[in-house]
Amino acid sequence: MREALALAVLPDVKCSPNPRVGCVIVSTSGEIVGRGHHVAAGLPHAEVNAIAAAGELARGSTAVVTLEPCQHTGRTGPCTQALIEAGVSQVIYAQADPTDIAGGGAAELVHAGIAVIGGVLADEAEIINRAWTHVQVTGRPFVSIKTAMSLDGRVAGAGGGPTTITGAAARVWVGQFRSEVDAVLVGANTVSVDNPALTARDNSGALLPNQPLRVVVGGRRLSTDLKIFADVGVGPGIQIREHDPERILKLLLAQKVQQVLIEGGPTLIAAFVEAGLVDEILWFVAPQFLGAGPVAMAPLPRPRAVTVTAVEVIGSDVLIRGALSPAPSD
């Protein structure tokens, strides 16, 4: 199963809005005879690729897959039928499929006489597909908020213009994280003041293969010369003329966005926090005092507790990762 999990996160994978899935075929003698993973939406699923790699050795084998095999026909056929036709004798899967349209594959395999074991390393598989799973369960994209502030809580200097807060290592980390989400979101004021490109780049400044949809929200009329609207080989950014967080997420989901990274500014972040629509907090703290300037988040009408899940040192900066704690009942 760990081999299958590793296949699911290979660098060539960009299958959103589909889940990441890896599969290995294990022969009757205990050897891995086929490996496969889902590369992109519309292409064969992991089980089909692994079966093809195994060939005739798939007959009588055990298929180990990170997600319960699907039993529906979309742009590709049902994986349950592929496993049945290949003659596998056993299927072991990690995460159960939570969807109405594709779930239930395990029962179909059992009905066909195939032994099935589920739940093996399910927690690790769910982490790989946390955004996809979140969409299936909640009906909205997974939302991460990220900001970078000084020790005195500022996100810019006294003039309010572009200010370098974190060091190079943190900026590379953010570039990599952008490449792993479907969309990066900022407010109109941030775009007007900072003019960010919001692209995902490596430590040399080169564009990474996977680029997010770049989105600016708000009704302000913006210049088409801004960097976010430049087509840098990955398509221009878009503007959503909305302020309501729920409405913004519905519009993003309609564009097949399953995970969105909100990078500010302070008013936009506060709006999503107050709406209770934040699933992950990424808060960088840099070792400097700016002395004056805008603060990291606009005022909230009431306090909100945060559950810290990790604290990491990245270069000279500290990253606090967490999640909003449940809001106290009124």
For residue 329, pLDDT beyond 60: no
Residue whose structure tokens are 């598989």: 125
Q: What is the pLDDT of residues 82-125, one digit of tens each?
A: 999 999 999 999 999 988 776 789 999 999 999 999 999 999 99
Whether this prediction's pTM lies above 0.75 is answered by yes
The superfamily CATH assigns to domain 140-324 is Dihydrofolate Reductase, subunit A (3.40.430.10)
Average pLDDT, the chain: 92
Q: Which helix (H) or strand (E) holds 91?
A: strand 90-95
Please report the pLDDT score of residue 18 as a whole number. Answer: 87
What DSSP assignment string belongs to 167-230?
-HHHHHHHHHHHTTSSEEEEEHHHHHHH------B-TTSPBPSS-PEEEEESS----TTSGGGS
For residue 324, pLDDT beyond 70: yes
For residue 74, pLDDT beyond 80: no
- CATH code: domain 2-134 is 3.40.140.10
159 compared with 250, residue with greater pLDDT: 250
* Residues with catalytic roles: 47
The sign of the dihedral angle between the CA atoms of 120, 129, 79, 40 is: negative
Task: Please report, for the chain, the start and end positions of each structural domain, with discontinuous segments joined by +.
Answer: 2-134, 140-324
Q: What is the pLDDT of residues 232-272, one digit of tens each?
A: 777 889 999 999 999 999 999 999 999 999 998 899 999 99
* Under 8 Å between Cβ of 131 and 249: no
Q: What is the pLDDT of residues 207-234, one digit of tens each?
A: 988 899 999 999 889 999 999 999 877 7
Q: What is the pLDDT of residues 15-63, one digit of tens each?
A: 778 899 999 999 999 999 999 999 887 889 999 999 999 999 999 999 9
Please report the pLDDT score of residue 297 as a whole number. Answer: 94
Average pLDDT over residues 128-146: 95
Report the C-alpha gap between 285 and 45 in whole angstroms.
Answer: 41
